[in-house]
Amino acid sequence: MKTVVAQTSCLWGRQASCLPLTHQARRPVAPQVRHGESVPWRTRCLCYLLGIWRAFAVLFFSLCALVHNAITILFVRPKRRLHARAAWLHGWSQFACRVLGIRLTKCGSIPSSGLLVSNHLSYLDIICLSSIRPCIFVAKRDVASWPLFGWLARAAGTIFVDRKRRLSSSNAVDIIGDAIAAGALLIVFPEGTSSDGSTVLPFKSALLEPAVRLRCPITAASIDYALDDGSVANDVCYWRDMTLVPHLLNLFFKREIRANYSFSPARIRVGNRKQIARELRDEVLSIRS
């Protein structure tokens, strides 16, 4: 299979290659069905079989991976467990991208450590970003109770934050600082929630404090999706009052999802964290424009 190379203009005024990751290959384009035409029954059957196979593969592999993680993590030194959990999620996410038909394209380089902030559209953001490089995520407390994804998030060392409780956020800031100091890559979605991608919500600044205090590099990233057979806002983005299981099952029947990522250069940010949050949001908006 050939890897597709698309040349695009990056934010910083120079030409750069935006390359699909090697484990994602372009697949043949499905025949387009004109308005008013019915989808052939064979195509419908293949679509159903694909969705069923994907659901089974993801569930079976996830359960096996969770058991493997629970056993092997006991033999890892405590100081290395955070990195081991990130590497475990990295491997699982690469498998999930292949099974779900996600084709990744990135512009710029994702850092190996420090803090990365990004806009947030879907739970797919976590799968795609962690498939590129081992990382640790900061997520809202509700994610811990999600079926399957909650188990995976706990096993991957996700740092959970209850934004309604100031003490929880304060504890999370200390844990984030420890993870950054240990050399891990921390990923934060400072919007605090996901959206339909039509805009970037204001960034909350509290979780930026550890990076500002430690003077570690902060990278801004932009996430965008494309879909041939459906609506990105309704079928890929997970927002409003959507329910996880029906949304995920519908996603299994999508033939291919194109995920596009752009990363700004990592740099140390100095100053008031609220001002830094505004600057990072402007950076993400600039990347998307």
Residue 54: predicted pLDDT: 94
Residue 171: predicted pLDDT: 83
Q: What is the CA radius of gyration of the chain?
A: 19
Residue 53: predicted pLDDT: 93
- Alpha helix locations (H) across the chain? 41-72, 81-100, 124-132, 149-155, 166-181, 209-214, 244-252, 273-288
Residues in a beta bridge with 54: none
Write the CA distances from 2 to 18, 19, 168, 226, integer angstroms: 15, 12, 48, 20
Is residue 130 within 8 A of residue 90, CB to CB? The reply is yes
Residue 60: predicted pLDDT: 95
Residue partners of 37: CB distance under 8 A and separation at least 6: none
Instruction: Give the count of beta carbons closer than 10 Å to the beta carbon of residue 140.
Output: 14
Amino acid (one-letter) located at 132: I
Residue 167: predicted pLDDT: 57
Is residue 205 within 8 A of residue 277, CB to CB? The reply is yes
Write the CA distances from 253 to 227, 229, 249, 266, integer angstroms: 12, 10, 7, 37
Q: If the chain, 289 residues long, is cut into consecutive pieces of 10 residues, what is the mean pLDDT of each piece?
A: 38 42 41 48 78 93 95 94 96 96 94 96 96 95 90 95 71 90 95 92 93 94 94 94 92 94 94 94 93
Residue 95: predicted pLDDT: 96
Closest to 86 in 3D by CA, of 11, 175, 158, 1? 158
SS3 call for 246: helix
Closest to 30 in 3D by CA, of 87, 135, 101, 96? 101
Residue 3: predicted pLDDT: 40
Residue 38: predicted pLDDT: 53
Instruction: Give the count of beta carbons closer than 10 Å to the beta carbon of residue 76.
Output: 14
Q: What is the pLDDT of residues 144-155, one digit of tens each?
A: 999 889 999 999
- The tokens describing 64, both together, are 């096996």
| Gap between the Cα atoms of 156 and 82, Å rounded | 8
pTM above 0.95, yes or no: no
| Gap between the Cα atoms of 82 and 137, Å rounded | 11
DSSP state of 144: G
Residue 28: predicted pLDDT: 39
User: What is the distance, to the nearest Å, from the Cα of residue 25 to the centroid of all Cα atoms in its chain?
Assistant: 19
Task: Indicate the domain borders of the chain.
Answer: 45-288
Residue 205: predicted pLDDT: 92
Is residue 284 within 8 A of residue 221, CB to CB? The reply is yes
Specify the pairing of strand 257-263 against strand 6-9: unpaired
Residue 252: predicted pLDDT: 93
CATH architecture of 45-288: 3-Layer(aba) Sandwich (3.40)
